[in-house]
Amino acid sequence: MFPRDHPSTREILLLYRRVRSQHRRALPWDVRQLGDEYVAAEFRRLRDYAAHEKDHAQYQSAAQEFMGRWREYLQHMAQGAAPGRDLDERERALLSTEQQEQLERLRHSVHSRDMDQPR
């Protein structure tokens, strides 16, 4: 769980629920399943970061960036757009090695599912 004394814990959990709810409304089952797994892993990663980060200001900054990106995602989904887009150079440069690896696994998973779908 996120640290209870952190003022944005409730806000983070509400955002997580909103993303999952939007997935239920907007995504087909197989894509939703993949998206929900990804969302859960990302929010879990933030929780783990919160538990280990000693610098409160550093965590606050990371949490605000994280939440801003997920809010953008929700707006994108609310407009009826398909989830996903290419990252620009600045965004790619900000990814950790672990995030880059996860992105590659996600890309591979999506392409594998596309290949399995009958045409």
**Ramachandran region, residue 14 (left: φ > 0; alpha: ψ -120 to 50; beta: rest):** alpha
For residues 8 and 41, state if they share a domain.
yes
The rounded distance, in Å, linking the Cα atoms of 79 and 9 is 27
pTM above 0.95, yes or no: no
Q: Is residue 67 packed enough to be buried (19+ CB in 10 Å), middle (13-18) or exposed (0-12)?
A: middle
Residue 70 and residue 92 in one domain = no
User: What are 49-108's pLDDT values in tens digits?
Assistant: 888 888 888 888 888 889 999 999 999 888 876 666 677 888 878 888 888 888 788 778
Residues 9 and 66 occupy one common structural domain: yes
Beta strands of 1-119 (E only): which ranges?
none
Q: How many domains does the chain have?
A: 2
88: helix, strand or coil: coil
Pair 65, 80 in one domain = yes
- Domain carrying residue 25: 1-85
Q: Do 91 and 78 belong to one domain?
A: no
